[in-house]
């Protein structure tokens, strides 16, 4: 939300979910009028969008979503170059033997390449980003640096 505030040149208050509150609670709060807008995964808000309880204003990816092809990207809607992808990773504890990491990496890549997994991900608006462990480590470090720069620009002090 802070990235959006900065790039859109607005100052909206971001109210994170309360302890124990899930995304479904946040969506319900917006439907009930306790928030003016939110950014959540499309597949979780889709039922409320399709039933006209929520209005989809834009998607945060670089391309329109297959789930909502009529909804523009935020960049197309007027915030040039805005892209914010939601991503998930698989983590293992420090000290996990390299052979175990190699096996996990190989098996995850194989699973992400499987047509049925790709079909499932597409149904939920996701696209696989298969990376080697070193590529993922570089990606996470890059994302962390971007988040730190956004926090600094927004005047947010890390805890």
pLDDT digits (tens, 9 = 90+) for 106-129: 999 999 999 999 999 988 888 888
State the residue for tokens 């006209």: 52
> 43, 124 in Cβ contact below 8 A?
yes
Domain 1-85 belongs to what topology? D-Maltodextrin-Binding Protein; domain 2 (3.40.190)
33: its two tokens: 């009028």
Q: Where are the domains of the chain?
A: 1-85, 87-159
pLDDT digits (tens, 9 = 90+) for 14-39: 777 888 999 899 899 889 988 888 89
Question: CA–CA separation, 97 vs 74, rounded Å?
Answer: 42
pLDDT digits (tens, 9 = 90+) for 36-85: 888 999 999 999 999 999 999 999 999 999 999 999 999 999 999 899 98
- Per-residue pLDDT, 86: 87
């Amino acid at each position: 939300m802070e990235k959006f505030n900065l790039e859109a040149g607005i100052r909206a208050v971001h109210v994170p979910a309360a302890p124990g509150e899930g995304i479904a609670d946040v969506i319900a709060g917006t439907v009930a009028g306790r928030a003016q807008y939110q950014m959540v995964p499309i597949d979780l808000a889709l039922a409320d969008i399709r039933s006209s309880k929520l209005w989809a204003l834009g998607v945060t990816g670089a391309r329109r979503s297959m789930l909502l092809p009529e909804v523009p990207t935020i960049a197309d809607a007027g915030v040039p170059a805005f892209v914010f992808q939601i991503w998930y990773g698989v983590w293992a504890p420090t000290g996990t033997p390299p052979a175990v990491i190699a096996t996990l990496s190989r098996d995850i890549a194989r699973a992400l390449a499987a047509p049925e997994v790709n079909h499932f991900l597409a149904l939920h608006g996701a696209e696989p980003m298969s990376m080697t462990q070193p590529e993922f480590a570089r990606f996470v470090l890059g994302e962390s640096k971007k988040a730190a720069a956004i926090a600094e620009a927004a005047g947010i002090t890390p805890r």
